[in-house]
Structure formats: structure tokens, C-alpha cells
Structure 1
Amino acid sequence: MSAADEILDVVDEQDRVVGQASRGEIYARGLRHRCVFVQARDTSGRIFVHRRTATKLVFPSLHDMFVGGVVGAGESYDDAALREAEEELGVSGLPRPTHLFTFLYDNGAGQSWWSAVYEVRCELPVRPQVEEVAWHDFLPETEVERLLTEWEWVPDGLAAYRRLRTTPPG
């Protein structure tokens, strides 16, 4: 099954499930769905940053400071966060990511999804999926901040990062 064939829940503006559709149909029709964003940090507190592959359905070849992806039909945000973090980092046995906040991403041009933001400490050697990640490194937060204006970032990840930087803990 290709990524475009994966079945996802379609949700409304209150994040209630109103139907299901394939990922390809959801993207083509601009249907609202659910995603998870997981900020992975190493033992030194550096942030995992990567460039997406050119074959990604959404935001190909752009940089991101989160791992994550879509929430499958019937899947919880928490389960999706752990699954996506382990898949994209290429590890198993991560601690369960900690939920920080959820927000509705909407670019006003037909891309809208509920976005649950998490964090996780990754003390394992990473082996990112070559199908998902073209380049990666753990960078100090000061370097990520510097690169915000130099690199092209995924807009939903950038929105999540900006909210994360301004949301008080707890």
C-alpha cells in the first residue's frame, strides 16, 4: 500500500471524526485530518533537524525540526506520536513522547490539520528512514534559531515551533 492509499480520519473544526478517506483524497480535496509533531532531542538537548526527501507527498525537500506525520484512522495522537518518532528516527524503545499542546494548522489555502505537538528524549543512535529523511543532524537550539531565516522550513512545523517557543510549560 502506498502512502497515498493510507486511510485517515477526516475531522471537523472541533477535531471530531466526521468520516474517513485515503491520504491521497484528503490531500487532493483539502480535507481536515490529524497530524503529530514530535521534537526529538538528544542527551545534550540538541534538536533533531532533517530535510525531507523529494518524494514526500507534502512539503518535499523542505527542512523540519520535528519528526511525525499523519494519524491513522482510529489511531490516538499518543500512539501516532510514538509510532512516527520511532519510524522516522529509525529506533525502537523510545520513551512515550510527552504531549505539549494541540493546535489547528490552517494555511488558508486548503491545507488544514489538527496538530498535536510532543517532545521526546532520544538517547539511542538514530537511523532515519531513507524514504523520509534526505539529511539529518542534532543541532543546538541556537543554531536552529539562526537557520530559521536561512533554510526553507515546512510551514506547519515552523508554526508548531513558534508556538512551542511562546507556550509556557505545563
Structure 2
Amino acid sequence: MTGGTEWLDLVNGHDEVVGRVTREEAWIRRLPVRVINAFLVNSCGELWIPRRTAHKAMFPNCLDMSVGGHVASGEDYLACFKRETREELNLNVDDVPWREIAYFSPFDTPLSAFMRVYEIRTDEAPDFNRDDFSGACWLSPRQLLHNIAAGDPAKGDLAELIRRCYLS
């Protein structure tokens, strides 16, 4: 981020960097950029699902992935995963078991961006950033999809990610 502007790498259909774009412009014009998402999964197979705070500009009060964020310009997916997990959950991924579980392209899926998805195994709820999330609960993938279908507001890609990563 420079001067309050968040810069992202603009990528082509092969996820190769072809330029830079602001986060705002990428969102407005639906340009291809990179993001990471991660899910905390406990030994019962439940996902730790937080609710975004009311003051978030995008998707306020919505259910969210355990971790999510845009890959900054010049950053790689793994560095972003580590940074976002530290910022949002106060968790160092070097101290917990984790793995990459999926890679998606917005050209092959209805998802919004090039996306790497990670899974962190833990039975402990994290000490999350209260500026990002207002609360959280453990839910099975099916219960989460049921809640969304019943009208609980959720971030745009959440239901599709659950279907692709945990129910396919």
C-alpha cells in the first residue's frame, strides 16, 4: 500500500503478471487479480466461520472465510496467506499444520479472482482481529450452506468455495 492506495498485480488468463491496478479499480472493473482464502478446520470437520464487522465497506455483517485477502503487488500467494493469517487471526502459520487444498481461476469457475485456498488444522478458535470480525462459530460445511440458503448473508465466494473444497 502506498499513500492509502492498495496496489494489486493485474494478471492474464494464465495468472501471469501483466501490470498493476488499484484494488478499487480491480473491483469496479472486475479485473483478474489474485486472492487467498483459508479455512480453519477442527477435528470434527467443522469450519471456523467468522462474521465481518458492520463497518466493512464490502460485505458488512456477512459470514466470511476464516482468512481472506488480496495478494499485494509483488507479493506471492504464500506470503499473502502468512500475512493475512497473522493480521486477521493473530496466528503464525509456521506454528500450526496447514496445507494448500485448491487453486482456482476466474476463467474456469464462477469465482471472483485467481485464488489459492489453504486449510489450517486446529481445534482452538483463534484470537481474531476485532476490527475484521465481530464473532465466529464452528459449523459443518453442510450447516454453513444451509444457513446461507436460509438467508444468512455471506461473502460472495463463500458458498461456492465450500461446495468446491468440502462437498465435491
TM-score (norm 1): 0.80
User: Aligned partners of 1:16 and 1:29: how far apart in 2?
Assistant: 19
Work out whether residues 78 and 99 of structure 1, in 8 Å CA contact, stay in contact via their aligned partners in 2. Answer: no
Aligned residue number for residue 41 of structure 1: 41
CA RMSD of aligned residues (A): 2.9
Q: Does residue 95 of the first structure (1) align with residue 96 of the second (2)?
A: yes
Q: Does residue 163 of the first structure (1) align with residue 134 of the second (2)?
A: no
Aligned residue number for residue 139 of structure 1: 139
Sort the Cα spacing of 1:22 and 1:165 in 2 relative to 1 into closer, same or farther, 3 A. Answer: same
Sort the Cα spacing of 1:76 and 1:158 in 2 relative to 1 into closer, same or farther, 3 A. Answer: same
Please give the per-residue CA displacement for 1:44-80, whole angstroms capped at 9, x wherever unaligned: 4431111112333432221124311111112111221
Structure 2 residue identity aligned to 1:9: D
Sort the Cα spacing of 1:57 and 1:3 in 2 relative to 1 into closer, same or farther, 3 A. Answer: farther
State how many pairs are aligned. Answer: 165
Structure 2 residue identity aligned to 1:49: I
User: Aligned partners of 1:148 and 1:2: how far apart in 2?
Assistant: 36
Sort the Cα spacing of 1:96 and 1:3 in 2 relative to 1 into closer, same or farther, 3 A. Answer: farther
Sort the Cα spacing of 1:166 and 1:141 in 2 relative to 1 into closer, same or farther, 3 A. Answer: closer
Aligned residue number for residue 114 of structure 1: 114
Structure 2: gaps spanning 5 or more residues: none
| Deviation, structure 1 residue 114 | 0.6
User: Aligned partners of 1:119 and 1:3: how far apart in 2?
Assistant: 33
